[in-house]
Structure 1
């Protein structure tokens, strides 16, 4: 049978095993996966689908049935899938919209946060990496007794430019969040940018200066009320709430004001009302709440660092498969913006390496050639920060590698938390995550990650020999 014929046959089987074309509500694909919204997910014969040669694994997430195919091949499979089913091609946004109709309130809330934070992650990750590079140049004792820029004074200007670029995303973090949030909430994203700029306007007292000495803050006198002139640098929650309010006011006004005068009426009123309500009510309340969350995380890691680190890493794999891990994006961004460092991200990144290690260990344990290939390729993608193939294709499928990840990463993260490891911000996950960690913690960070890797491989191997896990699973 030719390659083309095999592809057609495999796609035909996928369609049959998911309940036929009549059970498909919409279909799209990403870099590695078919993303399907099914009318009745119970009709899907998951085991038969996963036994197909072109399929590396499946999972249900966010209302979608996702079939892991692999880069390149997934486009050919999707094309044949559309041809055989006769359904209309859908964009990723359309598939997500269909899937969200089936989500619970909590799932929708988490997904909303993800849709706001994920678009700005490239800027945040880039800033974190550049901050790490700047630390290499500015910190003494790494390469010389003095810092690199003190020894090689000619590159001091380069270091200053790097530092400027690295800090820009966090200096104007409310602007990034304002753009993404207002866009998500259905408003004009340009107004979201303006809102963010208003909240970090240089005429306002910086949030950092206010935290150091609140007595120096100036006030606006509005009808006898004193309103503090405070900026919201590094803040997340106040901007999210303000962005939602801005979008709702804009939508409300557009429905009631004639098109001919919307340009000169809607934006000024929406911005002015939002700014006024933010500085008087929303800002003070949400800023206090955001600081409580940050202080609570810091306090927990101060009082019981080992427990906090271990517990966070232990539940992180479960959070990932439910999508709840997106909640901590906001916490990490809040910490980076207000404290200048993050603790949750570097401590929890042991899970990324553990997922890759568990998958690679399964490569040596498994006897099925197809699954050995899936385990081998997915382990390397996990070590580069993309864990989904390893999680859904191997570790979660055989259960005990996933449990090994939870146990080993909990031990490794507890170790890192004990030594109070910090990173400049969220960075690239996996083998290169150390680039965002402050250099003074590198020794401990490498030790904790190596410990995690060894323990993951050992626990996975020991579990594979346990009678609790059936040996026939290795042939699946």
Structure 2
């Protein structure tokens, strides 16, 4: 493969270098922000040597080359655009990675932009929650098989390790959200700390029959109840904090900015958090979980069938990024029963992609189908959805059927997750019922595989 030749051929097919607003790459794909996507010739791009598919998603036009190859193509491609590796094109005033993300967000509709914002906040936190979730699973096994007693030192210590991330979740969210909202990350963490201060009763204590104290402040009864493990209250509060911080900094002389801005921001936001936004956010969060619990409780199998059958459609819009916040809220009230459903939808796309590999006679589709299907089995579905299944449409429909049946099974069996973010095979590490999760996995993949062959499609010569 001549990487320089491919790069030179790719630029005009994208509508010329002036049509490329920003460019970067991930492990497998070129990620491009395009000014006018109507100028992009996708069919010709997919015919280029080494290209395994191309699609538009999340405000970016993405060209799949595969691991290793994409790095080698990007170097000459960046030179063709007149930029250095990691920079944006001349259409952008700045050349940081943040500019590429911002340019991509500007290409989205408001709903997708909102979802992407939530994704940017929660994705960096996922490793901490996953670690805690896996530890919870280990503790469950130790307890089930009576390897250690709950009173033993090792059990007590592991229990501390597993619950820590959820106890300080508002601090983690505060730090990440402030960075996304344009505020000071450390002030965001301080606000999260205020909302989980030891003087406030941990809400988990309510389950033990404890009741929070109240105090009177300017004629208001303030409930001294903390926000450990909550999501929506701290998101709303840190958003307000970022606005307050920018407003204060705008009117504060530079000479005293370091002293005045953090001081005023923390005091004002602290009062706003405990008196107004926190209680309001708690009501909103409880309302979301109550509504989902009502749907799930009314007919868990039906919920799995509907959610599992429609999740991939939501992925097409990019709005699925916002679900991390909902899942984190569910973890605070019990278990995450949504993640196993999403997982069934994802692996079903992999099953359909695997069937396409065996059925298609198109060489380029075969080259993409196996790695794309494998990616879906590991929880990343965009390559197989946009590069394989949507290309023939009926495999995508077959995957919806597989996701619905897999979702039906895992919800009927009560499979939940102890974390967020992991789907596919890795989710087994945080599943509360690994055996039934694996069975649901097999149902979703097998159904999608068989349905793809039964539905078939008319392949272009």
TM-score bracket for the superposition, by shorter chain length: over 0.9
Q: CA separation in 2, counterparts of 1:397 and 1:159?
A: 51
Q: Is 1:400–2:394 an aligned residue pair? A: yes
1:304-323 matches, within 5 Å, as: 304-323=299-318
- The aligned residue for residue 382 of structure 1 is 376
Is the Cα–Cα contact under 8 Å of residues 423 and 437 in structure 1 kept in the other structure? yes
State the Cα deviation string for residues 229-271 of structure 1 (Å, max 9, x = none): 1100111110001001111111111111122222332212211
Cα distance change on mapping 1:156 and 1:347 into 2, 3 Å:
farther
- The aligned residue for residue 135 of structure 2 is 130
Count of residues in correspondence between the two structures = 452
- The aligned residue for residue 107 of structure 1 is 112
Q: CA separation in 2, counterparts of 1:82 and 1:342?
A: 42
- Name which of structure 1's ranges 81-90 and 369-378 shifts more when overlaid on structure 2: 81-90
Shift of 1:213: 4.4
Shift of 1:348: 2.2
**SS of aligned partner of 2:54:** strand
Q: CA separation in 1, counterparts of 2:131 and 2:393?
A: 35
Across the aligned residues of Structure 1 and Structure 2, the Cα RMSD in angstroms comes to 1.9
Q: CA separation in 1, counterparts of 2:12 and 2:112?
A: 29
- The aligned residue for residue 76 of structure 2 is 80
Q: Is 1:17–2:9 an aligned residue pair? A: no
1:67 paired residue among 35, 56, 63? 63
1:47-446 matches, within 5 Å, as: 47-87=43-83, 89-90=87-88, 91-140=96-145, 147-150=146-149, 156-210=152-206, 213=209, 216-336=211-331, 338-426=332-420, 428-438=422-432, 441-446=433-438
Is the Cα–Cα contact under 8 Å of residues 378 and 390 in structure 1 kept in the other structure? yes
- The aligned residue for residue 144 of structure 1 is none
Q: CA separation in 2, counterparts of 1:111 and 1:249?
A: 23
Q: CA separation in 1, counterparts of 2:44 and 2:61?
A: 14
Q: CA separation in 1, counterparts of 2:188 and 2:18?
A: 42
Q: CA separation in 2, counterparts of 1:344 and 1:369?
A: 37
Is the Cα–Cα contact under 8 Å of residues 171 and 233 in structure 1 kept in the other structure? yes
Cα distance change on mapping 1:100 and 1:36 into 2, 3 Å:
same
Shift of 1:386: 2.3
**SS of aligned partner of 2:148:** helix
Unmatched runs of 5 consecutive residues or more in structure 2: 89-95
- The aligned residue for residue 456 of structure 1 is 448
Is the Cα–Cα contact under 8 Å of residues 116 and 322 in structure 2 kept in the other structure? no
Is the Cα–Cα contact under 8 Å of residues 7 and 77 in structure 1 kept in the other structure? yes
**SS of aligned partner of 2:201:** coil
**SS of aligned partner of 1:36:** strand
TM-score (normalised: structure 1): 0.90
Q: Is 1:31–2:19 an aligned residue pair? A: no
Is the Cα–Cα contact under 8 Å of residues 129 and 427 in structure 1 kept in the other structure? no
**SS of aligned partner of 1:234:** coil
Is the Cα–Cα contact under 8 Å of residues 114 and 322 in structure 2 kept in the other structure? no
Q: Is 1:42–2:38 an aligned residue pair? A: yes
Is the Cα–Cα contact under 8 Å of residues 11 and 17 in structure 2 kept in the other structure? yes
Is the Cα–Cα contact under 8 Å of residues 427 and 436 in structure 1 kept in the other structure? no
Unmatched runs of 5 consecutive residues or more in structure 1: 141-146
Q: CA separation in 2, counterparts of 1:97 and 1:432?
A: 30
Q: CA separation in 1, counterparts of 2:348 and 2:393?
A: 14
Shift of 1:30: 1.5
Shift of 1:116: 1.0
Q: CA separation in 2, counterparts of 1:74 and 1:50?
A: 14
- The aligned residue for residue 92 of structure 2 is none
Q: CA separation in 2, counterparts of 1:158 and 1:350?
A: 35
Q: CA separation in 2, counterparts of 1:101 and 1:428?
A: 28
**SS of aligned partner of 1:471:** coil
Shift of 1:54: 1.0
